[in-house]
Amino acid sequence: MECNAKWEGGACDRDAWAKGLCSGHYQQQRRGQDYAPLRKAGDNTLEMIGVRITREDKQVLESEAQRRGVDDSEVYREAISRYAARLRKELDGR
Ligand SMILES: [Zn+2]
């Protein structure tokens, strides 16, 4: 059985591990997070970028990080990752 996790622009293709979810998405659910793509093995190299964002966006993302009790960078990374997933989907559809 496959993991049931879905997010904007994608779905998980890992095998289910508990409650219809793979271990990574089971952990996201337990932490009260929205489902987000998991990094594939061997695809976990992170690149460093610097971007300027509005103060309003920064405040929204930082308060989300605070709510979840995670580092700000984790939420920034997720936001960009979701947008990239959406773009990939749009490009695939052309
Ligand atoms: Zn999954």
Nearest CA-CA partner of 88 in 3, 10, 13:
10
DSSP-based three-state secondary structure for 15: strand
Average pLDDT score over the chain: 89
If pLDDT is split at 50, 70 and 90, which confidence band does 6 have?
very high
| Continuous segment of H or E residues that includes residue 6 | strand 6-7
Res 55 pLDDT > 70: yes
Residue position matching structure tokens 């793509």: 37
In whole angstroms, give the CA distance from residue 61 to residue 4. Answer: 26
Residue 55 CA to ligand 1 center (angstroms) comes to 33
Residue 24 CA to ligand 1 center (angstroms) comes to 6
34 contacts 7 by C-beta, under 8 angstroms: yes
As given in the structure block, the two tokens for residue 5 are: 């996790």
Residue 80 CA to ligand 1 center (angstroms) comes to 19
In whole angstroms, give the CA distance from residue 80 to residue 62. Answer: 14
Residue 40 CA to ligand 1 center (angstroms) comes to 11
Q: What is the mean pLDDT of residues 2-19?
A: 91
